[in-house]
């Protein structure tokens, strides 16, 4: 488990540091895959029926009409959501590491570039 770094925390005992890059990849892959499935639903013609069904489950009259499939728009959708997912995961990982960092032995802390040994004695 070399992706998780532990450090002593005077309040909690152990602090888990998250690999920002891998968390970004997980978020980006999830959002990209989700929107790839949506693009496939639009291409196959099932998107409108699914959207109508979901709205009606929420007691809402479906107000939207799905446009015809556009390959360029589908690629842009998947790329933009994948990149946004990666950036969100990276920022959340950095924020987690910054909030969970042991600052008692360090005067200042930068969320970028700080690495701790896997186990500190």
Structure tokens belonging to residue 102: 């042991």
pLDDT at residue number 10: 47
First-to-last C-alpha distance (Å) of the chain: 18
pTM (2 decimals)? 0.70
**Residue 5 binned pLDDT confidence (cut-offs 50, 70, 90):** low
**Residue 65 binned pLDDT confidence (cut-offs 50, 70, 90):** very high
Q: Which residue(s) pair with 16 in the sheet?
A: 6
The residue ranges of DSSP E strands in the chain, in sequence order, are 5-9, 13-17
pLDDT at residue number 39: 98
Bigger pLDDT: 120 or 11? 120
Q: What is the mean pLDDT of residues 19-32?
A: 97
Identify the residue whose tokens are 């291409």. Answer: 43
pLDDT at residue number 101: 77
**Residue 119 binned pLDDT confidence (cut-offs 50, 70, 90):** low
Residue 51 confidence (pLDDT) above 90: yes
Nearest to 93 by CA among 65, 66, 112, 118: 112
């Amino acid at each position: 488990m070399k992706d998780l770094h532990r450090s002593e925390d005077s309040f909690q005992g152990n602090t888990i540091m998250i690999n920002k890059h891998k968390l970004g990849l997980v978020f980006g892959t999830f959002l990209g895959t989700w929107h790839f499935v949506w693009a496939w639903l639009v291409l196959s013609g099932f998107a409108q029926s699914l959207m109508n069904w979901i709205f009606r489950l929420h007691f809402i009259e479906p107000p939207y009409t799905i446009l015809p499939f556009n390959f360029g728009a589908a690629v842009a959708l998947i790329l933009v959501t994948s990149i946004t997912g990666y950036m969100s995961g990276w920022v959340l990982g950095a924020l987690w590491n910054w909030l969970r960092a042991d600052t008692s032995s360090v005067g200042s802390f930068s969320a970028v570039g700080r690495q701790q040994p896997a186990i500190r004695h």
